[in-house]
Amino acid sequence: MNIKAPLIMESVFILIAGLVYFITGNDFFIFNFLFIGTAIAIGIFLIGNGYEYGRNLIMLVVGSYLLFYVSILGHESLSLSGFWYYLFLGVFEAAVIHFLIAKIAGPFIFGRGWCGYACWTAMILDLLPYKTPNHERKNWGYFRYILFVAIFCFVVSLFIFKMNNLDEIIFYTFLIGNVIYYIVGIALAYHLKDNRAFCKYVCPITVFFKLTSYFSLLRVKVNNDNCNGCKKCIKNCPMDVDMLNNSRKRENGTECILCLKCIHDCPNNALKL
């Protein structure tokens, strides 16, 4: 794998760090985005050059940093409820910045790279034994939309009923919500024999990704002249993406997490990022 994709990722996060610092004047964001961008760039480079567990290592580093340091120790709710809460307050806080960059605007460049390199829920789910899906894709995707709307309505109701200590409510909602996510995610993984079942059917954040990652700049593409049609990339893809179709309308195309397993597994080097 050439250095182009990691350099693009690093450059994007350098620009993001500068832009957010310019807007907020908070030098924490320089460290924050340089740390995340460098880690993800290293992860893409490692997995692209055959280090199978490079991505898991980077996900543990970035996911743990965001969960424990930024969220729990920093008392920031980097959850969907936190995003709506601070958005309604009109405050440009960490949750709003996080969502705008990682889950709304960022996917125009790096798709669902968040899911593959930074998600603290998936960093645990990816350690489970079912890395290759062992079941037919189910039509359960509507759960994500139900949960998305439910979280939105929950936050709206806090304002309507003028609840006290909203910051504390949102923070503890974040903590409890993450515990529930881990329980549901692990249970689904073992039930369906698919580590990423939670991401496919339940995670409400994917509602944003569905809209923006369709236009992602960084995409895995196939060179049909080198492809022998073994379909190993499709069979082993954790997100069931049809990697043999370069169209943006390819099956499950908006769900590619840039794990690069398809590139690593391809016997003819027909795939590239």
Q: What does the pLDDT look like over 145-155, one tens digit per residue?
A: 999 999 999 99
Asked whether residue 56 carries a pLDDT value surpassing 80, the answer given is: yes
- CA distance to 62, 184, 186, 206, 222, per residue, from 195 (Å): 19, 11, 8, 16, 25
Q: Is residue 192 part of a domain?
A: yes
d(CA 232, CA 218): 21
Over the stretch 63-116, which tens digit does the pLDDT of each residue have?
Answer: 999 999 999 999 989 999 999 999 999 888 789 999 999 999 989 988 998 999
Question: Would the pLDDT of 1 be above 70?
Answer: no
Q: Which domain holds residue 202?
A: 81-214
Task: Classify residue 269: in a domain, yes or no.
Answer: no
Domain count, the chain: 1
Q: pLDDT category, 61, cuts 50, 70, 90?
A: very high
Range of weakest confidence among 38-52, 107-121, 181-195:
38-52
Query: Does residue 119 lie within any of the structural domains?
Result: yes
Residue 183 within a domain: yes
Residue 60 resides in a domain: no
Category of 242 on φ-ψ map: left (φ > 0), alpha (ψ -120 to 50) or beta: beta
pLDDT for the residue numbered 53: 80
Q: Is residue 267 part of a domain?
A: no
Whole-number Å distance between alpha carbons of 145 and 150:
8
Please give the share of the chain, as a percent, with pLDDT higher than 90: 61
Residue 168 lies in a domain: yes
In a domain, 248, yes or no: no
CA distance 83 to 121: 17
Q: Is 197's pLDDT higher than 90?
A: yes
